[in-house]
Every structure is written in structure tokens, then in C-alpha cells.
Amino acid sequence: MAAKPNILFLMMDQLRWDAIAAHGNPDIYTPNLDRLVQRGATFSNAYSPCPVCVPARYTIRTGRLPHTTGVYHNGAPDLVPGQPESMEARCGEYLPRRLQQLGYRTFGVGKFHTRPWDEELGYDVHLHSEEIYGSPDQRARDAYAKFIREQYPAYDFIEGLMGERTEMYYMPQMSPMPAPVTVEWWAADRAIEQIAQRDDDRPCFGFVSFIGPHPPLAPPIPFNRMYDPDRMPNPVRGAISIDHMDEQLPWMNYAIWAEDVIDSHARVLRARYYGEVSYIDHCIGHILDALEARGDGDNTLIVFFSDHGDHLGDHHAWQKESFFEASCRVPFLVSWPAAVAPGVRTELADLTDLFGLAMAAAGAPEMRDGIDLLGVLAGAAAPREYVLGYHGIPGTPRFKVMVRDAEWKYIYFANGGHEQLFHLPSDPQELRQRAQDAPEELARLHSIAHKALSHPNIERALEAGELRKFPLGSRPLQRIYQFDPSRNVRGFPEHPADVLKEFDFGAVAGGPS
């Protein structure tokens, strides 16, 4: 019997499905992701069941949909009576813990976005690089912040080690540090240290979770100048009545100072976003080289994916949290030369499948809410008929549900009870609303959505046997502030001079006070 494979999950945050050259994008340079495409299977129709960071990540580590995790947005779980308080009691043990039990050495490096921030997940080695430090203690215990403090103290005064946030989310930036000191290079180096270990004969499971290209868009030199904005495409926009049928989009645009981004600025932002992608691709190249140097690369399962995409101005929107393709469709690459034939696969996949993919490779199949993708690749298991997506707490106006089958995508918004229907083969950019002229398809997918909401917790989205509807409304607009609480920076000052009273100039690279 062949030895159990090593398993490596590589993840970017907020990477669009189309931001890979080998996926047909002539405007971007991703030679190392292209290596994975060429040596493995590409699921070209893969989706995030809840396209925002926290719920997507809990789906990845549990193999469960939001009605079991209880996480429908970037907040705490929203549970109903009868659901255990513990995530693992609700969902089953986390993937690294299950693989630990199967004899795997486990390590995790990067962004995990758990609640609490340092939740124990089942890794033998767990090295954090979270984006925001909520307290001095968190910054002191974050592995990357500690690396900067101890190895590069001249940079420790920087509040946003990955770039400025708040109003600068969608402003083009450059990393305040050279590439080999940045968080993504650090993550790759820590992963390589784990991969290179030879004093443990257990197979290895590693999870490397890169922070980018999630904003701020601040690639280091020279990746900041790889792309000419005037060679970038403009955003793709439909009718505003269709694009902003989802009230989340204009609300989020305003929240992150992106409510009026013009095309020339959008092209600059896409250039910086692509610079971030190419920078992380370069780091992934180092990891792939280290794997090849081990000599057992053919029996190593590598899976590359993201938690969700970024609109980048498409559909009059920035950020994620919608069920347009730019937001919810994700790259999903499966490379295992000993077992998986290269090629593009059009079967539907989603992030719930990652749990079962790793467990089946480890010899203990456990699919949970996913399907057997290895079986699909081998022709031994049936593909899924559709994927489901949820966002917003059920039973509130913020809730929405998506059904995507082989050709059609249906979206229902509790806010106003509105419906969208797109025929993706003929309208891949989702510009033509078909809810009025394809009533049979609308009714069929509506019925699937209704059935999908019959589970405990999410059944709150139903009322009197129908999808629950609220009067159409919008929330008060508000900005999202993301300063550095670990340095007691929580907002803009009442008076400009106040920042001078609070800042310690003497702590900046030994400068005068």
C-alpha cells in the first residue's frame, strides 16, 4: 500500500477566480499558480458558500455549511436553541485535528480569522499573522508581529504592517517594508521550514493562509510597479437596478470609502491588486520548490483556493459579500501527480469539499456537507447537481440565498423579496436579468432554495411556508474604521494636533522625540 500522501492547503484571501494567467487572463503574471494548473485538476466552477472571511474559513476547517457553523457574516455565530455552543460540538472536529488523529504532523501558518483570534485548531505548530491586533497582548503574541519586533525592530513602529486600512482600503499603496520582510514572504519561509523537516516520519498536513490580495493593496517593491494601469480593463457594470438589487453592495461601498471610484482609479487599483497576486505567487514558488526538493512531490496533494473574490468595481461594487461571480466564485486547483490527472473539470465544487478531499486522501473518507471530489475525478462518484450560498443572518432583511446549477444562478434577497436569475453560459458577466422571461427556471431554482432552508437554524429564513420577505429598505450608511487598537489608535482625532500629542517620535527608528 502506498504511503499516505503529504497534504498542503495553500490559500489566498479575496482572490478572484479569474486572477490566474492559466485561467485565461492575459493581463496577469502568475507562473507558479500556472505550475499548479498544469500539473493538476482545475475545478473551473467552484464557489464559496458564504463569500466573506470568517464564515468561509469555518466552512473550510469544518466541511460544514453556515446553518451548522452558525456563521453567516463576519461576526459571532448566530445560534438557535438546541445548537451546542462549541463549534466542534456542532460541526465535528476541525480538519487539522482529524488529520492529527490519523497520524499526520500538522502545521498552520498565516491568517486564520478565528473567534477568539488564537483559537486552538489542532495544529502541532500554529503561527499566526492576523491583519489587525485588537490589543497589545495580541500584537505581542502574533507570530509575525513578534518576528518584526525581534528581527526587524526598525519596522516595529508601523501600525499597519500589511498597509494602511480604513479610508485607504482602496487606495493604491506600496508595502512599508522590503519584500523579504513582508508577511507573505514570512509565511512562505515558515512553511518551508516545516516542509523541510526530516526528523519526523509522519506524513505532513500544512495550511498556508496568505493575507493578500485582501486590501489594503500594498505590494512591495518591485511588485508595486509590475502593471501599467492603462493596460488594465475597466470594471464590468450592468444596470444599477440589477447590480444594486443587493443592498449590501452600496452599503459596503460607502463603508470602505469606495462609493464613487472612477474608471481610471479602478484601473490603478486592479494593477495593485494584480501586483499583490504576483507577489504571493512568487512566494508560493518558493514553497513549490521546497516541496520538489523533498523528493516526494508526486505523492503530495496540493490544493490551492481562496475564501471568496473581490468585485474590483464590477457591478458597481467593491469588496465581496455578494453572489455575483466576482465575489463568490473561487479558484480551486487540485494537484496530486500520483493520483489526479491534469485538466479542467467543469463539475461544480465548493469550499465544503475541501474537508472531504483531505480526509479521502488520508484514507479515511468523511465528506460532511461536501461531496467526494477525488471520487468525481476518478469517475467513481457522482458530481453535485448544484451549489448553495448563504449570507446574512436568517430571519433578517440582510439574508440572501443562492442556487447555482450547471447553467443557471438564482439569488433571493429577503430585503424586498427580490429575485435574480442569470444564464451563465450565455451571460457570464451577469448583465441580463432573466427572472421575468424564464419563469420555469425561476420556479425550479426557487424550489431548491426553499428546500435548502429547511434545516435547523436557517429555517428562520422561511415564514408561513415561503421564503421570508421584508419591506425593501436600506441601512444608515456608516464608515468602517480599522486602525490599530494595540497602539491605542481607534479613530481620527477630534483635532488634527491631537495625533502629535499621542505619537512617540522617539520610538521611530531612534528618531528625535
The grid coordinates of residue 420 equal 435574480
Long-range CB contacts (< 8 A, 24+ apart) of 72-77?
72/390, 72/391, 72/392, 72/393, 72/394, 72/399, 73/321, 73/391, 73/392, 73/393, 73/398, 76/115, 77/115
Burial profile 214-244: b = 16 or more Cβ within 10 angstroms, e = fewer = bbbbbbbeebbebbebeebeebbbbeeebbb
Say whether 461 sits in a helix, a strand or coil. helix
Cα dihedral 64, 68, 70, 73, rounded to 10, equals 40
* pLDDT bracket for residue 511 (50, 70, 90): low
pLDDT band at 142 (very low <50, low <70, confident <90, very high): very high
Q: What is the band of 1 on the pLDDT scale with cuts at 50, 70, 90?
A: very low
Which range, of 144-153, 168-177, 502-511, averages the lowest pLDDT? 502-511
Residue range 57-100, pLDDT digits in tens: 999 999 999 999 999 999 999 999 999 999 999 999 999 999 99
Instruction: Say what the pLDDT of residue 25 is.
Output: 98
Planar angle of CA 411, 415, 420, nearest 5 degrees: 25
* C-alpha distances in Å from residue 120, one per residue of 112, 160, 503: 11, 25, 35
Tell me: cis bond preceding 235? Omega within 30 of 0 counts: no
pLDDT digits (tens, 9 = 90+) for 320-356: 999 999 999 999 999 999 999 999 999 999 999 999 9
As a whole number, mean pLDDT of residues 27-42 equals 98
Average pLDDT, the chain: 96
Give yes or no for a contact between 180 and 282, defined as CB atoms under 8 angstroms apart.
Answer: no
- 214-236: per-residue pLDDT in tens? 999 999 999 999 999 999 999 99
Q: Where are the alpha helices (DSSP H) in 63-142?
A: 66-69, 87-91, 95-101, 136-141
**At a CB cut-off of 8 Å and minimum separation 6, what does 96 contact?**
61, 106, 108, 121, 122, 123, 205, 207
Q: Which of 55-64, 183-192, 220-229, 483-492 has the lowest mean pLDDT?
A: 483-492
Domains of the chain: residue spans and CATH: 6-385+476-507 (3.40.720.10)
Tell me what pLDDT residue 510 has: 56
The Cα 117–Cα 133 span in angstroms is 9
Contacts of 383 (CB under 8 A, 6+ apart): 347, 348, 371, 376
Mean pLDDT of the region 268-290: 98
String of b and e for 336-367 (b: at least 16 CB within 10 Å)? Answer: beeebeeeebebbbbbbbbbbbbbbbbeeebb
How far, in Å, CA of 263 to CA of 91, rounded?
44
